[in-house]
Amino acid sequence: MIIIYGYPCFSGSVLFSNESLSMTTRVIFVLVVIGMFSTRAMAEEPREVFEVEIDAGVDEIWEAFTTTKGLQSWVTPLADIDLKVGGEWRANYNPNGALGDASTIVNTILSYDPKRMLSLKATGFPEGFPFKEAAQETWSVFYFTPVSETKTQITVVGMGYNDTEQSQKMRSLFAVANRYSMDQLRAALEKNRAKKED
């Protein structure tokens, strides 16, 4: 995730809407998902690529990814960003948490080309995250390509994966979570558009 792009699977508000679920239950669920999606072929390719077209112009997409207000609309209400090289994209999916606490995810901005590309590396991990060692070797690049004035292709490239068990389990998790995150983005943009039309 994201997001750690897509990590919200473990943190409570993305794939789990029932706040009463214990952390152990969530972890077990995700490990089952991992088992379903892990494939031998994945270990042979160090890049995880996901592409999606969103019905929104590139300006709108860029704002959603690179402003605090934009992130709060689709990532989590507890999110902020300092858009600069070395700046941080922070998110906390714990509804009772706060940015900067033990459940905060921190991504550091490696580089960006306005309205074209954004690259991130996870540098801060929430307490209990099981793939910390593997995550430290990876980074993500988001490419934004206008299809038309009202449609943008987003390409998410996760890099640095290897053939270790931890890396492959994390990769399987993110492959699922990235799709869900893009669905969240799409829904948020549609909601904002509907508000403007009212």
Structure tokens at 32: 């089952």
Residue 135 has pLDDT above 70, yes or no: yes
- 9 within 8 A of 92, measured Cβ to Cβ: no
Q: Enter the pTM of the model.
A: 0.78
- Going by C-alpha positions, the residue among 20, 28, 184 that lies closest to residue 96 is 20
Q: What integer pLDDT is reported at residue 192 of this predicted model?
A: 85
- What is the rounded CA–CA span in Å between residue 115 and residue 118? 8
SS (H, E, C) 40-55: HHHHHCCEEEEEEEEC
CA dist list (Å): 156 to 103, 128, 176, 196: 24, 25, 13, 28
Q: What integer pLDDT is reported at residue 23 of this predicted model?
A: 43
Q: What integer pLDDT is reported at residue 45 of this predicted model?
A: 63
Structure tokens at 196: 């403007």
> What does the domain layout of the chain look like in residue ranges?
8-75+113-119+128-197
The CATH class, in words, for 8-75+113-119+128-197 is alpha beta
* Tens digit of each residue's pLDDT (9 = 90 or more) over 7-37: 444 333 334 333 434 443 443 333 333 333 3
Band (194; pLDDT cuts 50, 70, 90): confident
- What is the rounded CA–CA span in Å between residue 91 and residue 125? 10
